[in-house]
């Protein structure tokens, strides 16, 4: 018999001066300090701030899924 599970999904925005991948990683790392049992992440959107014709800050909106205890 399959195990029934429930997950909650929250949307988080991470940022980084390095890259979109680092922005997503930052979102997960910081979220994991208060959100326990993270099971997955989906990159929802990538944006950036531009300054003087160059990307100044990478931003990544991610959806973080985590298990909910019953």
Measuring CA to CA, which residue among 7, 40, 12 is closest to residue 26? 12
Instruction: Say if CB 55 and CB 48 are below 8 A apart.
Output: yes
Task: Indicate the CATH number for domain 7-67.
Answer: 3.30.1660.10
pLDDT at 6: 86
Domain assignments of the chain as residue spans, ordered by start: 7-67
pLDDT at 1: 55
pLDDT at 15: 98
pLDDT in tens, the chain (70 residues): 556 678 899 999 999 999 999 999 999 999 999 999 899 999 999 999 999 999 999 999 999 999 987 6
């Amino acid at each position: 018999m399959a195990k029934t599970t429930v997950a909650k999904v929250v949307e988080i925005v991470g940022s980084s001066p390095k890259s979109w991948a680092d922005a997503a990683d930052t979102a997960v790392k910081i979220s994991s300090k208060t959100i326990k049992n993270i099971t997955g992440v989906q990159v929802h959107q990538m944006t950036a701030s531009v300054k003087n014709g160059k990307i100044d800050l990478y931003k990544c909106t991610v959806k973080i899924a985590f298990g909910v205890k019953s």
